[in-house]
A = this chain, B = another copy of it.
Amino acid sequence: MAAANSGMRKRVVILGGGFGGIHTAMGLGKLPLDVTLVDRKNHHTFQPLLYQVALAVLSPAEIAQPIRSILRDYPNIEVLMDEATNFNLDEHRVMLKSGAELEYDYLVVATGSTHSYFGKDEWAKLAPGLKTLEDATEIRRRVLLAFELAEREMVESGKHPPLKFVVIGGGPTGVELAGAISDIAKLYMTKDFRHITPSQAEVLILEGSPNILAAYPPDLQVKAAQQLADLGVKIRTGSHVTDIQPGYVMVGEERIDAVVTLWAAGVQASPLGKLMGLEVDRRGCVMVDEHLNPKGRPEIFICGDLAHVEQDGKQVPGVAQPAMQMGDFVAKRIARLTAQRFGSDGTGVEKGFRYFDKGDMATIGRKAAVAKIEWPFKAHWSGFPAWLTWLVVHIFFLIGFRNRFSVFRQWAYTYLFLNDGARLITGSQELPGWVAQEGVAEPLPGKALDLGSPKSN
């Protein structure tokens, strides 16, 4: 049975509660349409700050909010915690995992993207990626646990494996994770341990292409590399990982030890595009026209990371800003198509979607960043000014989140006073790399003893 529908009102089904789906839903709120938003999680996650949860600066509840709460004030919107498993596009029906079926007049698919291990799915357990709150708490667990296990081994045997953290992938996520791990080790943890010297931890970024932050202009790539070097983060570009094992990764024939390995390399689109039988690119993104419709399906809209949109000869990137703008566009377009009024004309909806790029930025540790600013003026910033910009922009984007002030306060507190953040380890105490290290990876005695020497700071 489809969701309750009062006669002539058009039904809109939105799949996905990320930036695209939430913006579509909010744009349709209070219009005489029946909207159902389906997501397999009960919460919307503010993904740009997920790495701060992973590195224990923020708590999950500070960057996530139940979708029901966000949309509570729109009586025409209902939320289902469920998952699309099949479609009948000709009959305008979506089948859900629970067995329910939803009929739609308009369908918005905004199910985003996930990690791609390039077919090596067995790597997922050894090198977690960062897309969900669960991913973030798992990364936090592994990073914090590595220090605990090293301390424990120092007490047991007077040595421990070198604290080497490997981040695979030098995009914004990889750079942010690497910088934050270095911060944790060098700034926050030095007073906490008696036997190990956390500041001697090493962080290495392995990037397959010739440069980190490939989407950024060359001057900012150089600046970012310099700022990472200042934090002690090592970078190896042109390094393709050929294998991941507990305790190490392989780059060709070379073995690189790693107590914790993180994955920030590949991204693939949600499988729904393929499942719907639509034309997709090699990453599974759905090819859409200027109105974000797949070919021959004017009642279907694709939003956010899942959409392959070309603009000025380049593909619009799969980040938060375009997803929000696509959501806003789709809501206006559906309102227009269903003959709803939405203020005066001239909204540009007829002309098609156009991504208005205000810029991009990536943080590097706790007081540096690179920012490619496109609006209101064009500039390339780096260092502390870029970081401040990043801070203001992200707090601004947190509008609508109950925790905007809480997050700001938490940041201020953590950054200024080097406070504990949310450095909790929950779940298992096993670390895949560590267990294997006992048998597989011989600790290098020299380095291990070096790491274990009395602390000088």
Contact = CB atoms under 8 A, between A and B. Distances in A.
A61 B60 CA distance: 9
A420 interface: yes
Copies of this chain, complex-wide, total 2
Nearest to A405: B409
A116 to B, nearest CB: 23
Nearest to A428: B134
Contacts of A96: 152, 156
Contact of A423 (B69, B419, B429): B69
Interface stretch (A76-84, A360-368, A380-388): A76-84
Interface in A52-74: 59-62, 64-66, 68-69, 72
Nearest to A151: B80
Contacts of A69: 192, 420, 423
A148 interface: yes
A156 B99 contact: yes
B195 A4 contact: yes
A436 B386 CA distance: 54
Contacts of A66: 192, 420, 423-424
Interface stretch (A36-44, A210-218, A220-228, A370-378): A36-44
B192 A68 contact: yes
A153 B99 CA distance: 9
B191 A72 contact: yes
A245 B201 CA distance: 48
Interface in A179-212: 191-195
B426 A155 contact: no
A452 to B, nearest CB: 11
Interface of A: 1, 3-4, 40-43, 59-62, 64-66, 68-69, 72, 78-82, 96, 98-100, 102, 133-134, 137, 144-145, 148-149, 151-153, 155-158, 191-195, 402, 406, 409, 419-427, 429
- Closest 7 pairs between A and B when the two form their complex, measured CB to CB: A61-B422, A100-B156, A68-B192, A81-B148, A78-B194, A42-B425, A59-B61
